[in-house]
Each structure stands twice: as structure tokens, then as C-alpha cells.
Amino acid sequence: MKLFFFLFLSPELGWISKVYVNRPAVVRHAEQIKKWKTLKGNWQAAWLLKAVTCIDLTTLSGDDTPSNVQRLCFKAKHPIREDLLKALDMHDKGITAAAVCVYPARVSDAVNTLKAAGCNIPVASVAAGFPSGQTPLETKLAEIKLAVEYGAREIDIVISRSLVLTGQWEGLYEEIRLCRAACGEAHMKTILATGELGSLANVYKASMIAMMAGSDFIKTSTGKEVENATFPVGVVMMRAIKEYYWQTGYKVGFKPAGGIRTAKEAITWLMLVKEELGVEWLTPELFRLGASSLLGDIEQQIFYHVTGSYPLQHDLAMA
């Protein structure tokens, strides 16, 4: 298997020009996904709590301050009101968000807050010229190293879309490989910014290159593009992950991000991962949801499940 791994993952990437994606079939499949029935009752509550444990609770605003990062960290540790968890008999199951995601300048604030709270939730940092990727490679690598130095245990890099759009696959491979090396022991999620890649074939190609170069996760979007996480893109990326696993035996994680705001959408993504990749991917180690406002809607739905009515504005803590 290792021999095949090195042959398959060599920087000789001529094979990639032969990749073809049947877009009409993918789009038809995505339309069917939208029609899946919504889960109800205890099943819905269980899936929503699973979704909570896979959320990278995120703030990526220009006006982020130490105080709002501290509030975010507290919410990550206590994502659902304690009495609601007790009503579901889940208060002692360690329900927390998967990670707190911030800009490099706010990593220390998050690390110190979580440490003071006695919490082991990892801090993730966006880096490598997020969100545009339009910075020199040396700057990208320096930013990654600084974020790791500040205490980030996960790094969400963003690729240079121009390398994809101009077919520079060896250049893309090398850039991601160097970013992976700069991450050191930190896990690396590679953001493809799929809404700016031009085609589903390019999404598949970029997914494969990112995994070949050592990414621990591949991620749909920065959340700043016009088009973010969509089901057609998700299907293509998950099929790439499946193919990579079949060829190498290595499991790479998947993270849809951007525009996922409702509990129903979160459950649909979980169900899609289960269908395409299997239940073994439904863990924070292999699946994440990138979101800033999703948790609020999930908590409202759980409140409704427990109490039979929707919460008033003051009933739930602000995320």
C-alpha cells in the first residue's frame, strides 16, 4: 500500500487533466438531497447535539476584541443551556463545540480564556492570506508559524485560486505541502474557496491535490465568497475523499463552511456525510461545520423540543 501511495501521490500530476465530473448527475443528486425528510422528536435532538460537537465556533470580524472572543470561548464550552441538556439526560456527556476559530491576532486571547476555564477545546486559526490568498508564499508561511506559536492547534489555510484557474497543479501541490510543513504538529484544514474555482472538475482536482499534499481536512469555503458551501460541491469533495481513502488508506476530514445557518441544514450535511462517507466520518476528528450563527438556531430547536415553545430573546445566552 505504501508503494502505491508514493506512486499515486507523486508530484507528477499529468493524470489530473483527465479528471471529468458529470455535472448534470451531481446537480440532480443535490436536488434530491434538498428533498430529504426532516427528522423529528428525539431523533432530531440527537442529530442536533451531534452537530454541536462538530461545530468550529467562529468569529472572523474586523472588530473582534478580546472580550467577544472570551464570550465565544464560553459559548464553545457551554453551547447548550445546562437545564436543556439535563432534560435530555445529556448533561454529563461533555457536549462542547469542536473548536474555536479566530484570526491569528486573537489566538492568544482564545487560548488563554480556554486554559483559564480548564477546557481542552482546540483553537483554530485562519491563515495563509485568508480570505483571498493573495499574499506572497513567504508571508503565508510566516503567518501560519506565528499562529502555531501563539497556541493554535488547528490551522485553516486558504489556497491561491489562481493556481487552480490556470492549471498550475504542481505549484498548488507545492504551496500546500509547504503550508503543511509550517503547521508542524497542528492539524491543517485546506480551504478550497470552491465558489471561485470555476467548475466542479476543478473542485475535484483541487481536493485531490490538497489531500496529496498532506491536508488533514478539506474545507469548502472561507465564508467570504459569494457562493459558499453547496450540496453539489459537498458531493464532489466527499467523492474525492472516498477515492483518496480507497487508494491510500488515509482518512481525510471534510468541513463545509459558509452560509450554514439553520438546524435543518446542519442535519442535512450530517446525513449527506453518512451517506457518502459512512458513520465513521461523523466525529469531530473527521467532520466539522464552519459556522458563526448556526449554534443559535440549533439551541432554539432544542429549547422547543424540551419545552414545547420557542425561546424569547432573553432565554438563551448570546453566542
Which residues are the active-site residues?
156, 219, 255
Residue that has been written with the C-alpha cell 485546506 in this structure: 190
Helix axes 263-276, 23-34, angle to 10 degrees: 130
For the chain, what is the radius of gyration of the CA atoms? 19
C-alpha cell belonging to residue 204:
475535484
**If we measure between CA atoms, which residue out of 191, 283, 294, 276 comes closest to residue 231?**
276
Q: Is 174 helix (H, G, I), strand (E, B) or coil?
A: helix
Handedness of CA 183, 256, 318, 315 (dihedral sign): negative
Count of residues making up the chain:
319
Please report the beta strands in 104-186, taking only residues with DSSP state E, as ranges in sequence order.
Answer: 123-126, 154-158
Q: How many whole angstroms separate alpha carbon 42 and alpha carbon 35?
A: 21
C-alpha cell belonging to residue 116:
483559564
The gap from C-alpha 275 to its chain's centroid, in whole angstroms, comes to: 18
Are 255 and 56 contacting, i.e. CB atoms less than 8 angstroms apart? yes
Please report the beta strands in the chain, taking only residues with DSSP state E, as ranges in sequence order.
Answer: 55-58, 99-102, 123-126, 154-158, 187-191, 217-219, 253-255, 289-291
